[in-house]
Structures are given as C-alpha cells and as structure tokens.
Structure 1
Amino acid sequence: MMSRIRPIAICVIEDRDRLFVFEARDPTTGALFYRPLGGEIEFGELGADCVARELREES
C-alpha cells in the first residue's frame, strides 16, 4: 500500500510560558498525548481557513 502525504495546518497559541494544545488518547495504546490544534487541509482550502475551521471543530 502506498502512503500518501497529508498537508496539514497547525496553530500554536502561546500565552507567556504556556501553550494551548489538544489532549487525546491513542486509540491503540491508550496513551495520553498532546498536540497543537489543527488538522488536514481540504482540497482548495487555504491554511488559515483550515486552522479557523479546526479551531471551531475542536473547541
């Protein structure tokens, strides 16, 4: 199976010495992890529009 490249956009929000991140669990291992907000850019979508959409979806 051939892998595909997924274009993503992320948003790094910093407030003094803190970062705003998304918390999730790995569905396979159950391990807790953190990542910047963002996601996959849809066809024809601008990176900034992707970040705005993802912020709406994840908040």
Structure 2
Amino acid sequence: MWSVLNGIFYVLTQGCTWRNLPGDFPVWQTVYTYFRNCGCNRAEVSSARLHQAGEKMEHG
C-alpha cells in the first residue's frame, strides 16, 4: 500500500502523467485507481497545495 501512496505523491509532486510513472511503483492503472477512488483530482490537490504554501508565506 505504501508503494501506491508513494506513486500518487510522485505524480503529484513531479507533474508527470500517470502513464509515465516509473517502474519502481505499481503499474499506473493501480495507482490511478486508488487516487480516483479517494475522491480527489489533481486540481483539488494543486489548489490545496497552493493554499498551504500561501499560508506558510503569510505566517513566515
């Protein structure tokens, strides 16, 4: 299960496509299925990350 989560984090942080997920992770279909089943999408995750970054900058 950790490898699936790491695969999700890799795609979100590196900005690669699901199909270009390196072979160190489970097959992209598995990782993508878990991501979709959690009810998230990239836009929501990106928006949340931008919000967190903004808060960090505000509070120094």
Give the TM-score range, shorter chain. Answer: under 0.3
TM-score under structure 2 length normalisation: 0.26
Relative contact order higher in (CA < 8 Å, ≥ 6 apart): 1
More helix by share: 2
More strand by share: 1
